[in-house]
Every structure is written in structure tokens, then in C-alpha cells.
Amino acid sequence: MTLLIGLAGLAVDIGRMYVIRGELQSFTDAAALNAALAMDGSASGQARARTGAAQLAEGPHAMRWDMGTQTITHIETSFPADPNGRRLVRVTATEPAPIIFMRLFQPFSSSAVAAASVAARDGGSVRLIQ
């Protein structure tokens, strides 16, 4: 019975991490597309892209994680080079997922969960590529 309860607890924690990762993935997909729309190839376009990515985590209609209860705060925006000449933007979000049952196996109270998306702007079109 103890083993069964332990496995159920492990499944709950891992399942929660998958849900949080899905929420972060939805955010990074939307943020990468929003950032790519703001890019125009200039330095000010990159600044607007960074702001555009973070906009979705602010305000009354902000995207959130942990079943919509926590604000997404750890957002990184970068601009990788592309040999095909497209303007790329990569948005990464990382948050500490709370651990309840797995504390028996590790001394931490949370585990980092991350998601990333890459969007490309080629002329007037914008699309997710990763």
C-alpha cells in the first residue's frame, strides 16, 4: 500500500509539471509570434520585440501558469541568426514548479519547468518554426 501511495504521489507531481509546461508552451508560442510581429530588422524593432514578448504576461488579461494563478516572470527573448535571411525570435519561459510528493526523494521544494518557442518573420508573414 505504501508503494502504491508513493507512486500515486509521484504521478501527481509529474502530471502537474506537464500541465505547467503546457501552460508555459502556450505562452511562449503566443509571445514568440507577438515578438516576431514587432520585428523590422532594426535595433528599435528588437526592443519592441522584447516588449511584445513580455506584454502577454502583464495586465488584466495576462497569460499565467499553475492553473492560471501565477504570473509568468522568468522570460528570456533572444534573436538567433538564420542562414536563410529570416528574422528569428526565441522566447523562453522558466518557472519553479512546486513539488509536493517528490520531496521524499529530493530535498527541494520546486523543480524548474521551461518551455521555448521560435518564430520567424519573412517579409510580411510570421510563423512558428519551433
pLDDT digits (tens, 9 = 90+) for 18-30: 999 999 999 999 9
Give the per-residue pLDDT at 92.
Answer: 96
Strand pairing partners for 76? 92
Q: How confident is the model over 45-69, as pLDDT tens digits?
A: 888 988 888 888 888 888 888 888 8
Mean pLDDT of 39-44: 81
Q: Is 63 helix (H, G, I), strand (E, B) or coil?
A: coil
Tell me what percent of the residues of the chain surpass a pLDDT of 70: 98
With cell 512546486, the residue in question is 98
- The pTM of this model reads 0.86
* Residue 7: partners with Cβ closer than 8 Å, 6 or more residues away: none
Examine the pLDDT at 106 and tell me if it is beyond 70.
no
